[in-house]
Structure 1
Amino acid sequence: MNEISAIPQGEQDGAKSDDEAGTLPHHIEAEQQLLGAILTNNDVYDRVAQIIKPEHFYEPVHARIFEISANRISKNALASPVTLKAFMEDDDGLKELGGPAYLARIAGAAISSFAARDYAQMIYDLAVRRELIRLGGDISAKAAKVEATSEPMDQIVEAEQSLYKLAEQGQATTGFVSFLSAVTDAVQVANAAYMRDGGLAGVSTGLIDLDKKLGGLHRSDLLILAGRPSMGKTSLATNIAFNIAKAYKKGTLPDGSEGAIEGGVVGFYSLEMSSEQLAARILSEASEVPSEQIRRGDMTEGEFRRFVDAAKALESCPLYIDDTAAIPIAQLAARARRLKREKGLDVLIVDYLQLVRGTAENRVQEIGEISMGLKAIAKELQIPVIALSQLSRQVESRDDKRPQLSDLRESGSIEQDADVVMFVYREEYYAEREKPGEDNLEAMAAWQERMERLYGKAEVVIGKQRHGPIGNVELSFEGRFTRFGNLVQPWQQGDDQGF
């Protein structure tokens, strides 16, 4: 009983009826001593509550002792051998271990409160090992059972989901941190921005005016990029993804770890378009060959050569695309964690939010679950997450088609969880559809003048920003290449800083 053992612990394991229980890793004495520490000093519970739960104990009686103690402590009631005796006098498992006297014995074997977290972590780690053994057995049993309705690929997906679900558990929260610690982190972020060219605190989008307004893409932020169909939100997202991946440079970060010192590794969930279609859009921008010509294969020799050269140049670009349709939010999070672990991950883009699946039956609650899940990914992985979103049709019924926060579909949860909400707006798109009749010369002249003023221009309307101003950012838009760019202002003519 004094060491981690795969052998049953005599009468203390008498409650185990499973023949395989003896092969599972466990540490009865660690469980006893941790419970003893909690029963003699209830403050210990607060130190370990984020690490272990009742189900992590190997001995079922210990799980019940922990659960009853937790319930009493959470109600500001005392949990001790005397108070627990009333709740467990009729517990058959406790009777086998000696009855209420057993509670007094484990209290007498209590460890120091300083060691409580280490013991709790040990108990949790052993519980994870037992769960891995159980999952391995389930996977093996299902694989051995050949059934027409059970496809091997489905079993692989199911096994992967079970493993990632297990990996998500037990991640202890940081709890409260001192103001000094928070201030130190804030100063480090400000110093990084001060030392970086352009003074950006976050990852550059490659669009100068947008960067000035946002300060770059900040870690832990959820950014919503919304727009009506044909406004170009996917194009803007792919442009930003391409700009970030193209600028990627690896180096030593201020904390001494390896990471992106410029640009970054980009993960792109393309739930609407296939990876080939998305790649074609990016190649269209890079090679300056219209995307519809790429689709048809209608290219001159020079255009095709530019297309191939662009493809070769982008082979090493750290841009990873997942085009799984209707992906569940939990699986989306698990794959993002895996990408960060295997390749690194600096920016995550989801196109688009309404195509992700949640678990709630109510649509509004499902969208709330998804937006909260995306925000949680941003905070956990310490990366900016850009999620595209559709706008409701009420935009089309207004004279002023410029979108606003209330136009977001299921806007309550999205608007609440987002740190930044941006709208893509191209007035040129709506103006084209308002062309007057040929016989109305005056109206035609006014329309042509308006079209000249709007040609090749787009706006990003920043409707919400937690740590910066709201307002409009003007961009250039080349529809042939589905490319947004920096717009040269009148006072910048003759200056090449716009491109």
Structure 2
Amino acid sequence: MNSIGRAPNDQTADGGLLGLSQRLPPSNAAAEQALLGALLANNKAYERVAEFLIPEHFIDPIHGRIFQAIVRRIEAGQLADAITLRGEFEHSGLLDEVGGTAYLAQLLTAMVGIINAGEYGRAIHDAWIRRQLIDVGETVVNNAFGRDPELDGTKQIEAAEETLFKLATEKGQDGGFVTFERALTDAISVAEKAFHRTGAVSGLTTGLRDLDKKTGGLHPSDLLILAGRPAMGKTALATKIAFGAARSLLVQGRETGTMPRGSVAFFSLEMSAEQLATRLLSEESRVSGERIRRGEIGQKEFDRFVQVSRELQALPLHIDDTPAISLSAMRTRCRRLARTKGLSLVVVDYLQLMRPAVGTKPDNRVLEISMITQGLKAIAKELDVPVLALSQLSRQVESREDKRPQLSDLRESGSIEQDADAVMFVYRDEYYLQQRMPKDTMFDSADKFHVAMEAWQHKMELAHNKAELLLEKQRHGPTGKIDLFFEGEFTRFADLDTVHGV
């Protein structure tokens, strides 16, 4: 009995498993011939396989070439049969390569019926997936035996997961040109979603009314930068956006009677998952996080705290608090979450605490940050989700009289401004005003001190519980200032009710 006739789990005489090289790769030549025959007999059969089958899925390159010619003619609105293909292959000089006229006629006899075309296509595609899995397995085995000494075990796992994720999502359709017709169709689809959705938000909602109006929500493949100086509330605002997005996913799922179709990944490099959860509970229960930590809350507040925690348990929000996580590890975990739970938004707090991809050794910090932002943009495009990354600002902001951040404050951080689709700055004038409270020792008379104090108190009243979100760059829309409400006690951002003067 030769090796081809053995079962996949047969063993060699010495007890070892049969080598992969001694087995024939999975294929289904009969299905390939039957499908091509069905397509030549009736071009409408193509509709049954158009969404998932491409020429590269055929094990026989001749069959792949014939399928490609059939598809090209059908999509051009032309007839694809044995006669028209014969003329096309004769003109291109490839008729002999595809077996000549006799083979095209033979394919017609292999056709069992066009009603089975979809099943033939799935059989071809399944055999291709199995061949790809064999290739992945061989690569994993070879790397594990030390073919590449620079790849340690962790890197090998990340590489294998990346390959498997691409296989699961792309299904062999490598990147390439997209026709303008397809691009227009996608654009109309996005506009239609905005038309039918309340508030004209085509992307994922942030939970903040005025921000959604300005941006249309969070859009797939966009990299958004939220920057600010320490104590401005970057993490609190990012938490608010992550919560708003997760809640909208939960509501959509409940409306359709299904589980949420996506989730939010929050990479907290500075705060622990417990600290972040406490902050979110504080915001929603309106119980001070500081009092929660000290245990200075009454039974009524504690009950409310517990009730809110039960309501939040169903949120599709996942927190990863790995410190100094690498770009490659983040990419791997996002792929895994997208594959298992679905992924709708990635939040990174914050990018200066990240490490670049494993194996890269940038010459300086500026280049390192540039590699990280470029990597985050690549994650956004690969997974087709928005990525919101927080960023610290340089201290040059503090040296100006007007401390509102500007795009120029990002220049020291490499290509953040260039890579981002949107750049936002969070600013609270109240924070800086508190530091400027007049002191009687600064004035030579009590009258001057009182005048200065009244002027300061007036400014503090105007700035109290207010924050500014400065949208300085937006690749797909307008820029400008967005006024927000900020409650310092609960580190909570919300919409500002300008009508009633909140």
Q: Which TM-score applies when normalising by structure 2? A: 0.69
C-alpha contact 2:260 2:316 (8 A) present in aligned 1: no
Alignment of 1:154-169 (within 5 A): 157=154, 160-167=157-164
Q: Which amino acid aligns with 1:382?
A: D
Instruction: Tell me which moved more, 228-237 or 167-176.
Output: 167-176
User: Alpha carbons of 1:266 and 1:22: their partners in 2 closer, same or farther (altered >3 Å)?
Assistant: closer
Point out the more displaced range, 280-289 or 176-185: 176-185
Q: Tell me the CA shift for residue 136 of structure 1.
A: 5.2
Which residue, out of 483, 494, 498, partners 1:474?
483
1:315 is displaced (CA, Å) by 1.1
State the Cα distance separating 1:303 from its structure 2 match: 1.4
Q: Which residue of 2 aligns with 1:223?
A: 224
In 2 relative to 1, CA 127–341 (structure 1 residues): closer, same or farther, beyond 3 Å? closer
Cα 1:166–1:25, aligned 2, differ >3 Å: closer, same or farther? Answer: farther
Decide whether the 8 Å contact of 1:476 with 1:484 is kept in 2.
yes
Question: What amino acid is aligned across from residue 397 of structure 1 in structure 2?
Answer: S
Relative distance call for 1:111 and 1:305 in structure 2 (3 A) is farther
Q: Does 1:208 align with 2:209?
A: yes
Match of 1:330 in 2: 328
Query: 1:22 is aligned with what amino acid?
Result: S
- Change in Cα spacing, 1:131 to 1:175, as seen in structure 2 (3 Å) is closer
Structure 2 unpaired stretches of 5+ = 8-17, 30-54, 60-94, 105-122, 147-151, 442-448
Distance 1:27 1:356 in 2: 43
1:22 aligns with 2:31: no
Q: Which amino acid aligns with 2:421?
A: D
Cα–Cα, structure 1 residues 307 and 111, in superposed 2: closer, same or farther, change >3 Å? farther
- Deviates most, 210-219 or 438-447: 438-447
1:291 to partner: Cα distance:
1.1
Residue 290, structure 1, aligned to residue 288, structure 2:
yes
Residue type matched to 1:167 in 2?
L
Letter in 2 for 1:335: R
Select 1:135's aligned residue among 119, 137, 140.
140
Counterparts of residues 6-405 of structure 1 (less than 5 Å): 20=19, 22-23=21-22, 26=25, 126=131, 128-133=133-138, 135=140, 157=154, 160-167=157-164, 172-247=173-248, 248-251=250-253, 265-358=263-356, 359-362=360-363, 363-405=365-407
Secondary structure (helix, strand or coil) at the match of 2:265 reads strand
Residue equivalent to 2:454: 445
1:33 alignment partner in structure 2: none
Comparing 352-361 with 169-178, greater Cα deviation is found at 169-178
1:5 positional shift: 8.9
Q: CA deviation at 1:159?
A: 5.6
CA-CA distance at 1:138 after TM superposition: 6.8
For residues 151-191 of structure 1, give each alpha carbon's deviation from its aligned partner in whole angstroms, at most 9, with x where no partner exists: xxx96x55632422433667653311221111111111111
Q: CA deviation at 1:25?
A: 6.0
Matched letter for residue 177 of structure 2: F
CA distance in 2, matches of 1:288, 1:377: 35
Give 1:133 deviation, angstroms: 4.4
Residue of 492, 495, 500 corresponding to 1:486:
495
The letter of the residue matching 2:175 is T
What do you get for the CA RMSD once the two structures are aligned? 3.8
Deviations 1:334-372 (A, max 9, x none): 111111111111111111111121123222222222111
Distance 2:435 2:309 in 1: 36
Q: Contact 1:220–1:385 at 8 Å: present in 2 too?
A: yes
Mark the CA change 1:369 to 1:26 in structure 2 (over 3 Å): closer, same or farther: farther
Alpha-carbon distance between aligned partners in 1 of 2:478 and 2:391, rounded to the nearest angstrom: 21
SS at match of 1:472: strand
- What is the rounded CA distance, in whole Å, between the counterparts of 1:176 and 1:121 in structure 2? 26
Q: Which moved more, 1:432-441 or 1:130-139?
A: 130-139
**Structure 2 CA distance for aligned equivalents of residues 164 and 409 of structure 1:** 35
How far, CA to CA, are the matches of 2:477 and 2:259 in structure 1? 26
CA distance in 1, matches of 2:178, 2:322: 39
Aligned residues: 392
Which deviates further from its counterpart, 324-333 or 230-239? 324-333
Runs of at least 5 residues in structure 1 that lack an aligned partner in the other structure: 8-18, 31-49, 58-106, 143-153
Which secondary structure state, in structure 2, belongs to the residue aligned with residue 317 of structure 1?
coil
Give, in angstroms, the shift of residue 252 of structure 1: 11
Give the CA deviation at 1:300: 1.4
2-structure distance, mates of 1:378, 1:5: 47
The separation in 2 between residues aligned to 1:324 and 1:393, in whole angstroms, is 27
| Alpha-carbon contact 1:390-1:409 (below 8 Å) kept | no
Contact kept? 2:424, 2:472, Cα under 8 Å: yes
Inter-CA distance 205–124: structure 2 relative to 1 (3 Å threshold): closer
Deviation at 1:473, TM superposition (A): 0.2
Question: How has the CA–CA distance of structure 1 residues 23 and 198 changed in structure 2, closer, same or farther, with 3 Å as cutoff?
Answer: same
The answer (yes or no) to whether the contact 2:344–2:385 under 8 Å persists in 1 is: yes
CA 1:259–1:191 in structure 2 vs 1: closer, same or farther (change >3 Å)? farther
Q: How far is 1:378 from its partner?
A: 1.4
CA–CA separation in structure 1 for the residues paired with 2:137 and 2:25: 13
Q: Which residue of 2 aligns with 1:90?
A: none
> What is the CA–CA distance in structure 2 between the aligned matches of 1:336 and 1:308, rounded to whole Å?
30
Instruction: Give the TM-score normalised by structure 1.
Output: 0.69
> CA separation of 1:360/1:410 partners in 2, compared to 1, >3 Å: closer, same or farther?
farther
Change (3 A) 1:111 1:426: farther
Residue identity opposite 1:228 in structure 2: R
1:234-282 superposed Cα distances (whole Å, 9 cap, x missing partner): 00000111122223234599xx9x8868xx5211000111100000000
Q: After superposition, what is the alpha-carbon deviation per residue over 1:288-329, rounded to whole angstroms, capped at 9, x for unaligned?
A: 111111222221111111111111111111111011111111
